[in-house]
């Protein structure tokens, strides 16, 4: 009680919020606490504020005890860590379903769990940083969910662990939905390392008022001609989908195709802006490339019409990566995320077609998908290739 406020707060920082609470706001400021606090004792301060010393000291002792007890507690590492990003339109129902599954089964499963599943709108920079620094399997989360060619196949990021055989497809799915397993494409990883939950398809939204006398574009090749130079909006900010578009254009049309795609760019827009772009007075795109999900926002009878490309909607897969070394613990979680229930949330709530064989993706018959293929992935280091494609694209946008 006879020590200065400065001495007390230096010994016990827990005293600072208590002193502020009784009206000594200057104690929040380190400099004022040092200058003014040296000139007044704890006893004098409490007398000045008409505070009972016994009550104050009791509160201080309790605050110190709680703080020190908390600091001494060692939080055990969880048995399983789940990380990644979920598509924004389905994050809430997916997390509600996952929480219900975990609460129902946690006791029977018998392990502890930590999950960090963010919305796709928050980006992947945090994951890239973690992967770039990771040198061993132990530094990784045990289960990853995300789209992202660059992250999962770049040999400096997740690709280095794929090469080491760290991951295993634990879904138990003997076959994928016929939409993704047919004579045109096979989405299942032949190495059974990466699993896929569904895809984000890229389609066209055409503004008939801006189209003029140009023919309605039917496929990706149509957008690469002179007729659509400076007339197309692209989802550049949606890195997963944009990267899928770049890789597919590169594979099917070569470097010249990527350059032409750059020349076709009018501007980058968020899909929600694209749907309403016909309402803006500024120069409007004739065609926008966008996720299939946003087509539900298009008003019937308006100038905007959705077109499913004849070669197929470019597919950006939603990957699921599980560590082989934790097979027994991870398998129930993987089977949940690969279930029909989750597949229907993806396909019906978000228009992200599911690979589950029993899910009706509600995509009109005849609409197919464009997928770069596992052979292409094996033959290329996608990280450097994407950087090369991005450079070609931006060099020809005129911006």
CB-based burial label for 248 (10 Å; 0-12, 13-18, 19+): buried
Whole-angstrom distance, CA of residue 223 vs CA of residue 225: 6
Half-sphere exposure of 122 (CA within 13 A, CB side): 12
State whether 334 and 306 are in the same domain.
no
**Tens of pLDDT along the chain (399 residues)?**
899 999 999 888 888 989 988 888 888 888 888 888 888 999 999 999 898 888 888 888 888 887 776 655 556 889 999 998 888 889 999 999 999 999 999 999 999 999 988 888 777 777 777 788 888 889 899 999 988 777 888 888 888 898 899 999 999 999 999 999 999 999 999 999 999 999 999 999 999 999 999 999 999 999 999 999 999 999 887 778 999 999 999 999 999 999 999 999 986 654 555 455 444 445 789 999 999 998 877 878 788 999 999 999 999 999 999 999 999 999 999 999 999 999 999 999 999 999 999 999 999 999 999 999 999 999 998 989 999 999 999 999 865
CB neighbours of residue 312 within 10 Å: 20
> What kind and span of H or E run contains 390?
helix 382-395
State whether 146 and 170 are in the same domain.
yes
Structure tokens at 16: 């600072």
State whether 172 and 87 are in the same domain.
yes
State whether 109 and 30 are in the same domain.
no
CB-based burial label for 26 (10 Å; 0-12, 13-18, 19+): middle
Q: How many domains does the chain contain in total?
A: 3
Give the range of the structural domain holding residue 38, as residue numbers without chain letter. 5-72
State whether 218 and 144 are in the same domain.
no
Give the residues across from 152 on adjacent strands.
none
State whether 131 and 190 are in the same domain.
yes
Is the separation of the CB atoms in 112 and 54 below 8 Å?
Answer: no
Q: Pick from 334, 343, 366: which is nearest to 82 by CA?
A: 334
Residue 235 lies in a domain: yes
State whether 193 and 336 are in the same domain.
yes
Q: Pick from 226, 221, 220, 244: which is nearest to 146 by CA?
A: 244
Whole-angstrom distance, CA of residue 206 vs CA of residue 105: 47
Q: Which residues, including other chains, have CB under 8 Å from residue 21's CB and lie 6 or more apart?
A: none
State whether 215 and 281 are in the same domain.
yes
Phi, then psi, of 12 in degrees rounded to 5:
-130, 85
User: pTM score > 0.85 for this model?
Assistant: no
State whether 328 and 192 are in the same domain.
yes
Residue 188 lies in a domain: yes
């Amino acid at each position: 009680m006879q020590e200065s406020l400065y001495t007390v707060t230096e010994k016990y920082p827990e005293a600072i919020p208590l002193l502020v609470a009784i009206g000594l706001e200057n104690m929040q400021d380190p400099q004022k606490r040092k200058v003014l606090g040296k000139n007044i004792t704890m006893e004098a301060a409490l007398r000045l504020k008409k505070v009972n010393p016994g009550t104050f000291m009791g509160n201080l002792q309790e605050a110190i005890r709680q703080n020190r007890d908390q600091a001494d507690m060692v939080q055990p590492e969880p048995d399983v860590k789940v990380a990644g990003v979920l598509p924004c339109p389905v994050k809430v129902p997916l997390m509600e379903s996952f929480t219900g599954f975990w609460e129902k089964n946690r006791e029977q499963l018998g392990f502890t769990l930590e999950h960090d599943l963010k919305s796709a709108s928050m980006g992947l920079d945090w994951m890239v940083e973690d992967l770039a620094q990771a040198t061993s399997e132990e530094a990784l989360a045990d289960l990853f969910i995300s789209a992202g060619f660059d992250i999962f196949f770049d040999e400096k990021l997740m690709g280095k662990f794929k090469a080491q055989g760290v991951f295993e497809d634990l879904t138990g799915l003997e076959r994928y939905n016929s939409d993704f397993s047919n004579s045109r494409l096979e989405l299942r990883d032949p190495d059974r390392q990466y699993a896929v939950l569904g895809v984000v398809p890229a389609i066209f939204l055409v503004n008939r008022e801006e189209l003029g006398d140009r023919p309605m574009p039917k496929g990706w090749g149509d957008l690469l001609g002179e007729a659509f130079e400076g007339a197309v909006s692209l989802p550049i900010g949606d890195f997963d989908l944009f990267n899928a578009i770049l890789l597919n254009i590169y594979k099917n049309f070569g470097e010249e195709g990527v350059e032409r795609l750059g020349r076709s760019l009018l501007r980058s827009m968020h899909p929600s802006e694209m749907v309403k772009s016909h309402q803006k007075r500024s120069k409007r795109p004739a065609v926008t490339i966008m996720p299939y999900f946003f087509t539900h926002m298009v008003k019937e009878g308006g100038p905007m019409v959705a077109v499913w490309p004849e070669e197929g909607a470019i597919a950006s897969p939603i990957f699921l990566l599980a560590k082989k070394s934790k097979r027994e613990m991870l398998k129930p979680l993987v089977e949940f995320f690969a279930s029909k229930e989750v597949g229907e949330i993806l396909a019906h709530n978000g228009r992200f077609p599911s690979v589950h064989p029993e899910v009706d993706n509600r995509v009109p018959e005849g609409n197919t998908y464009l997928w770069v293929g596992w052979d292409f992935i094996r033959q290329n280091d996608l990280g450097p290739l994407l950087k090369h494609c991005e450079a070609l694209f931006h060099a020809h946008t005129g911006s």
